[in-house]
Structure 1
Amino acid sequence: MKKHYLLFFCCLLMAGSLFAQDASKLNLGVNKGSLQLASEDGNFKFGMGGRVYMDAAAYFDDKTDLGSGSEVRDIRLLMKADLWKKWNAKINIGFADGAVSLKDVWLMYKINKNSFVRAGHFLEPFGIEQTESSKTTKFMHAASTIEAFRPGRNLGFSYATWSKKIFWEAGLFGSDTNNKTEGDEGYGLTSRIAFAPVQTDGGLFHIGMSGIYRTANSTGFNDQGEENPKSIRYRSRAATHIEKRRFIDAKVANAESQCKLGFEMIAATGPISIQGEYISAKVNRKSNFEDYSAKGFYTQVGWLVKGGNYKYKMKSARLAKPGPGSVELLARYNQTDLNDSDALIMGGKQKDITVGGTWYVNHNILVKFHFTNVDLDENSLNGEENFNMIQTRLQFSF
């Protein structure tokens, strides 16, 4: 399967080159640090790019023997094209953890300048951090609440539209790219709406909510031809990736479907911003089992010490990436609770605080540095414990 992905990727690159040769003339340019070819009439644009994340982490005061070290967190190669001013396509291949995986692989049709339909493999529209590229997220690791409950990327299609103050996207999604198990895969209905009544040079305010209904995936059949019980799982790492273990983990057996509801807020005044999300999840189980519920939230604060004021992008309903040369100080508090005593599922509770900063060296390079304290309850992987870590990242893209 990995070879097929690479072959598919290379064929598309060759197809783009052949298309470029047929054009009467192509202009080579640079857009935010990335090379781009464009036809004179504007009907065709072609770009290639990539990114590399190199991380290091040191853990302290840990009861569990955590593995300090370094890693190439991810390598990405991507190709994107604009065709006939109405169509967009993107292919983004990841090489994290020594494995080839499809990230964004989609085709988009622009209905007008403020709406589009998209089909393929992409992030479901749920919340702020779930829908943001890892290239522009403020912290090295997603908040544990987001990691536990996010739907990630799946095959599907969606419709998105926005005006000066309102953003809305909704879609229908299947599962991931490979259906490896006999039986019906789950499907999901996902939607996000955001309202940003204040968008000025000196301040902004945004509120929104998201919802998901998703059926559980099949887990195959037993020797008698009966369908195996389905399950849904929520789990998260401890605000780091170099240490691979997930300290909170709830596997909900005999599941039929899940519903997730998220609330979000962004506010900024000048160079100060605050962002937060709250997510609740409920797993509907077979009639003789108690339904399972879990929840979590995070709040983060940013201060652009250098780089001007925060800006907002209505097209994606989130803060824009700070400009080249900016220096940003950050703090985040997260709490994720996977314990449900009524359902007799105690997946653990995690609280963590992160402080740090990011230097946006230029369009292509940035450096991150974080200090994090993690507090785990008695239902976590190795029981109650509290530990600290220092992490840093060198990130470059082109």
Structure 2
Amino acid sequence: MRPLALAALSVFCSTAALPVFAEEGAQAWPPKFTFSDETEVALTGNFAWDKAEFAGHPRLEDNEGLRRREFGATVKKAGVWDAMVYFDFESKSWLDVFVRFDSQHFLGRDVGKLRVGYMKVPVGLEGVTSSRAGTFMELASPIQAIYQGRRTGVEWTLEQDHALFQLGGYGGKDLQGDNPGQTYAARAAWTPRKAAGDVLHLGIAASRENPQGWTDGRGVQFDPTARLRARPGTNLTDTRLVDTGSLAPVNHIQRTGLEGIWIKGPVSMQGELLRADIARDDGLADFTAEGGYLAASWLLTGESRVYSSGNVANPKPANGYGAVELAARYSTLDLDDGPVNGGRQHDWTFGANWYLTPYVKLQANYVRANATRNGATSRPEIVEVRAQVHF
């Protein structure tokens, strides 16, 4: 699938080059160029530096370093189409690479938007939230374990005043050349309240993944597989306290999720219930994983979390000194089922965020994890901070 990314990048370059002689203006920050035909070309990025210190048992190694080095570009003609190429140079992985078309322009009426390319599969609300917009520094443990990530495919989205619908089909490998197979996904949400500072979002999502086996360069055949696991609240450690190990051979994976968002002025809540049902071959017992989280936030400076297109974004500071937020989250994950002893983990995360400007964000988290696997209990504690610049 790498040619898709290169092709999309070529689209950007050619689209930006065509109207270059008709350029009307340039915006210094965020870097944006607007041309006479109303096409906009913008650079986008997200850079985060983290530091984590550990206590409790097991005593993990303190660490610090870059968490994200994301950089890319967007091209947009409002009401007609938009496209994006985005890459994380820290993890050396492709992020969003897509082109999206607005039906209103092409058909004369709104029957949704069609997106083609490499994108997130829409099961797991916190997982599909932008990495720059997380209230907490890391995803909740059930999202880490169950959320599928990005795949290459086609997705249709229709947003109305009080409802949101998404359908997607994805196939082949991802842009890293991994995870061969097909996935079909659907998401629907009811939004009886959808105004600035007053939101109620209730949704359901489901997908079916049919993973495929593969053969390496030496002709060795590998069965289709699945593996669910989660880190204890920070990506600055490779330790996983809960881990199913390989569940090969796998026939298919069904993921389901219930999601909710409530925003009322400076106070908000968000929660999810997630489940993965893994059907295995060769007479092996099927496996089920379950988890969920509930999070709450309070913006002390009076702003509201931003809600748009079925998801949340960073608040926009209303004062020169920025916006200050306090947040708490409880999450739980169960990877024990039958003969598979993946373990159980529950975490408390307490956070403080300072949005200095719309492009600069400081975060601090305290995580208290409790995991039990094969009769052994681990109770690590993490204090972590992040400095983030995004545009």
Output the TM-score relative to the length of structure 1. Answer: 0.88
Whether the 8 Å CA contact 1:114–1:163 is kept in 2: the answer is no
**Cα distance in 1 for residues equivalent to 2:209 and 2:23:** 48
Residue matched to 1:302: 297
Whether the 8 Å CA contact 1:300–1:332 is kept in 2: the answer is yes
**Cα distance in 2 for residues equivalent to 1:352 and 1:260:** 22
Question: 1:38 and 1:281, CA in 2 relative to 1: closer, same or farther beyond 3 A?
Answer: same
**Cα distance in 1 for residues equivalent to 2:146 and 2:341:** 16
One-letter amino acid matched to 2:97: V
Residue matched to 2:125: 128
**Cα distance in 2 for residues equivalent to 1:11 and 1:209:** 37
**Cα distance in 1 for residues equivalent to 2:281 and 2:236:** 37
Residue matched to 1:371: 366
Residue 103 (1) aligns with residue 100 (2): no
Question: 1:55 and 1:170, CA in 2 relative to 1: closer, same or farther beyond 3 A?
Answer: same
Residue matched to 1:332: 329
Residues 230-273 of structure 1, C-alpha deviation per residue, up to 9 Å, x if partnerless?
32111111110111122211131221001111001111222111
**Cα distance in 2 for residues equivalent to 1:129 and 1:201:** 20
Question: 1:5 and 1:108, CA in 2 relative to 1: closer, same or farther beyond 3 A?
Answer: closer
- Secondary structure of the 1:233 match is coil
**Aligned-pair distance for 1:12?**
6.0
One-letter amino acid matched to 2:174: D
Question: 1:230 and 1:310, CA in 2 relative to 1: closer, same or farther beyond 3 A?
Answer: closer
Residue matched to 1:177: 175
**Cα distance in 2 for residues equivalent to 1:387 and 1:108:** 43
Residue 318 (1) aligns with residue 315 (2): no
**Aligned-pair distance for 1:200?**
4.4
Whether the 8 Å CA contact 1:127–1:209 is kept in 2: the answer is no
Q: How does 1:198-209 map to 2 (within 5 A)?
A: 198-200=193-195, 203-209=198-204
Residue matched to 1:25: 23
- Secondary structure of the 2:34 match is strand
Residue matched to 1:392: 385
Question: 1:274 and 1:389, CA in 2 relative to 1: closer, same or farther beyond 3 A?
Answer: same
- Secondary structure of the 2:144 match is helix
Question: 1:76 and 1:179, CA in 2 relative to 1: closer, same or farther beyond 3 A?
Answer: closer
One-letter amino acid matched to 1:108: R
Residue matched to 2:280: 285
Whether the 8 Å CA contact 1:222–1:228 is kept in 2: the answer is no
Q: How does 1:42-53 map to 2 (within 5 A)?
A: 42=38, 44-53=39-48
Residue matched to 1:68: 62
**Cα distance in 1 for residues equivalent to 2:142 and 2:333:** 5
Whether the 8 Å CA contact 2:23–2:33 is kept in 1: the answer is no
Match of 1:147 among 137, 144, 147: 144
**Aligned-pair distance for 1:24?**
2.3
Q: How does 1:75-114 map to 2 (within 5 A)?
A: 75-83=69-77, 85-97=79-91, 100-112=92-104
**Cα distance in 2 for residues equivalent to 1:134 and 1:379:** 33
Residue 15 (1) aligns with residue 14 (2): yes
Residue 212 (1) aligns with residue 212 (2): no
Match of 1:187 among 179, 182, 190: 182
- Secondary structure of the 2:304 match is coil
Whether the 8 Å CA contact 1:192–1:209 is kept in 2: the answer is yes
Question: 1:6 and 1:106, CA in 2 relative to 1: closer, same or farther beyond 3 A?
Answer: closer
Calculate the aligned-residue CA RMSD, in Å: 2.7
One-letter amino acid matched to 1:19: L
Whether the 8 Å CA contact 1:349–1:379 is kept in 2: the answer is no
- Secondary structure of the 2:18 match is helix
Whether the 8 Å CA contact 1:273–1:303 is kept in 2: the answer is yes
One-letter amino acid matched to 1:337: D
For structure 2, list consecutive stretches of 5 or more residues without a partner in the other structure. 105-109
**Aligned-pair distance for 1:49?**
2.3
Match of 2:114 among 114, 117, 127: 117
Percentage of identical aligned residues: 24
Q: How does 1:233-252 map to 2 (within 5 A)?
A: 233-250=227-244, 251-252=246-247
Question: 1:255 and 1:202, CA in 2 relative to 1: closer, same or farther beyond 3 A?
Answer: closer
Residue matched to 2:35: 39
**Cα distance in 1 for residues equivalent to 2:265 and 2:195:** 9
Q: How many residues align?
A: 380
**Cα distance in 1 for residues equivalent to 2:96 and 2:50:** 23
**Cα distance in 1 for residues equivalent to 2:11 and 2:370:** 47
Residues 52-71 of structure 1, C-alpha deviation per residue, up to 9 Å, x if partnerless?
100000001222x4110201
Question: 1:18 and 1:318, CA in 2 relative to 1: closer, same or farther beyond 3 A?
Answer: closer
**Cα distance in 1 for residues equivalent to 2:163 and 2:65:** 40
**Cα distance in 2 for residues equivalent to 1:246 and 1:359:** 29
One-letter amino acid matched to 2:89: F
**Cα distance in 1 for residues equivalent to 2:25 and 2:16:** 14
Whether the 8 Å CA contact 1:67–1:242 is kept in 2: the answer is no
Residue matched to 2:154: 157
**Aligned-pair distance for 1:46?**
0.7
One-letter amino acid matched to 1:18: A
Whether the 8 Å CA contact 2:95–2:119 is kept in 1: the answer is yes
Question: 1:48 and 1:205, CA in 2 relative to 1: closer, same or farther beyond 3 A?
Answer: same
Whether the 8 Å CA contact 2:49–2:387 is kept in 1: the answer is yes
